[in-house]
Structure 1
Amino acid sequence: MYLVIFDCDGTLIDSQDTILHGLSVGYEAVGLPMPDRRTALSIVGLSLETAFLQLVGAENAHLVPEMANAYRTSKISRRKLGLDLDPLYPGTRDVLDRLGARDDVLLGVATGKARRGVDHMVEVHDLGGRFVTVQTADTSPSKPHPDMVLRAMSETGAEPLRTAMIGDTSFDMEMARAAGAHAVGVTWGYHDRDRLRAGGAHVVIDHFDELYDALDARLAFDGEPA
């Protein structure tokens, strides 16, 4: 059995605008100036408190709880209003359909989002039943700690060499490597090719339609894992 785990933000869904809005609410709550767009988005993938701490620095660590609370409150309110409808990246559904049609492939999620954020994504895009394991910031340390991938493998019984983590950040690549899994980087998210490679990506792709072949090469669907 093979396990293919996906990150959410920057990998499955294009959530940059809603993330920036949430970050700006957090900064406004404590009266700090919002960083530039590239800097702000560089922390996507980390759990919320870890992300804010990396952005504001240890000298402002006391502000992080208030910033994170403001972000979460804003997200919950906007979703109740039918906002924050982050679109799937082109090709996402086709890949999920193709992989999900295989009896020997299980799909999972490992994300710095809260579980309610994943549930929202699944509901909005009608992805119910696709993911047999969902790992979030609610129950695991922030990436790049390997706990999310280790938990996903434990829940499904998958072996590391038959497991692949798909993500757009070096945090995903480092997490996968630390868990002994294959690390597949995608360039349409928040970290570029060089940073993905530096994080330990075994392979990097530029379009979702390249993913199936990349996974076949790494996992050797028709033979033993590479």
Structure 2
Amino acid sequence: MSGAIRLAVFDCDGTLVDGQHEICAAMDEAFLALGLRPPAHGAVRRAVGLSLPQTMRHLASEEGIEIQTALVEAYKTAYRTARAEGRVSEPIFAGIRLLLDQLREEGWDLGVATGKSMRGLLHCLQVNALSDHFVTLQTADNHPSKPHPAMLQAALDQAMALPADAVMIGDTTYDIAMARSAGVRAVGVAWGYHPASELIAAGAEAVAMTPADLKDILG
């Protein structure tokens, strides 16, 4: 890498933390609230990383825009209620905290680019004691859904890093496509929601099997 600032941007769900149980539960509640059959959890996991409107377009493609919009709001309500009642658990994957600490010690700046809302991301980072680890946080609140490169471009601007000095790390093909669109290195992780073969096919330069592997890949 050529510049003074090295930036590693992480996806959140499926990369830093495992929130699939809460996501699937809130999705069930949202669909049931509108009298619809909930989608299979496998389909829900595959959509993790997209913004909520995009997710509902995938999961409720046979429904009109009004129903899809209502599903977005129903999901938000279900998730916020679960969080307020203390039912949301988004545990950090084993080895991630050590990896983040090591990268910071080696001079990396860290960021997050996620389909979560900013409120949801801040809560997730707080409960996992990661709030002080990142110099830039980009969410679906103010950007188009992945794989549009807007979130990653904003992260580069805020961190004052060049694309050639940055890497996007994620568990879905949406992360990989976003990185390639932004001219940033793309590295996949195998502990999330899309298989390694799909990440490679999407253009990942490598797929880490463990956080320790990821450390080696980043160099």
Compute the TM-score of the two structures, normalised by the length of structure 1.
Answer: 0.92
Q: Does 1:43 align with 2:47?
A: yes
Name 1:220's counterpart in structure 2. none
Q: Which amino acid aligns with 2:66?
A: H
- What's the Cα RMSD here? 1.1
Q: Does 1:99 align with 2:69?
A: no
Separation (CA, whole Å) in 1 of partners of 2:68 and 2:30: 9
Deviations 1:114-163 (A, max 9, x none): 00111011110111211100000011100000001100001111111110
- Range moving further from structure 2, 121-130 or 109-118: 121-130
Structure 2 residues not aligned, in runs of 5+: none
- Range moving further from structure 2, 205-214 or 137-146: 205-214
Separation (CA, whole Å) in 2 of partners of 1:86 and 1:126: 12
Q: Does 1:142 align with 2:145?
A: yes
Separation (CA, whole Å) in 1 of partners of 2:82 and 2:31: 17
Separation (CA, whole Å) in 2 of partners of 1:58 and 1:160: 39
Pairs aligned (count): 215
Q: Does 1:213 align with 2:195?
A: no
Name 2:165's counterpart in structure 1. 162
> Aligned ranges for residues 112-127 of structure 1 at < 5 Å?
112-127=115-130
The match for 2:18 among 14, 27, 30 is 14
Name 2:188's counterpart in structure 1. 185
Secondary structure at the aligned position of 2:168 is classed as: strand
The match for 1:204 among 207, 212, 217 is 207
- Range moving further from structure 2, 148-157 or 51-60: 51-60
Separation (CA, whole Å) in 2 of partners of 1:85 and 1:34: 21
Deviations 1:188-210 (A, max 9, x none): 11100121112211111111111
> Aligned ranges for residues 63-78 of structure 1 at < 5 Å?
63-78=67-82
The match for 1:23 among 18, 22, 27 is 27
Name 2:83's counterpart in structure 1. 79
Deviations 1:163-215 (A, max 9, x none): 00010000000000000000000111110012111221111111111111101
Q: Is the CA contact (8 Å cut-off) linking 1:29 and 1:66 kept in structure 2?
A: no
Secondary structure at the aligned position of 2:27 is classed as: helix
Percent of matched pairs sharing the same residue? 41
Deviation at 1:58, TM superposition (A): 5.4
Separation (CA, whole Å) in 2 of partners of 1:75 and 1:63: 18
Structure 1 residues not aligned, in runs of 5+: 217-226
- Range moving further from structure 2, 131-140 or 54-63: 54-63
Separation (CA, whole Å) in 2 of partners of 1:23 and 1:77: 13
Secondary structure at the aligned position of 2:64 is classed as: helix
Secondary structure at the aligned position of 1:130 is classed as: coil
Separation (CA, whole Å) in 2 of partners of 1:58 and 1:2: 44
Separation (CA, whole Å) in 2 of partners of 1:117 and 1:59: 27
Secondary structure at the aligned position of 2:81 is classed as: helix
Q: Is the CA contact (8 Å cut-off) linking 1:144 and 1:171 kept in structure 2?
A: yes
Separation (CA, whole Å) in 2 of partners of 1:147 and 1:89: 27
Compute the TM-score of the two structures, normalised by the length of structure 2.
Answer: 0.95
Name 1:110's counterpart in structure 2. 113
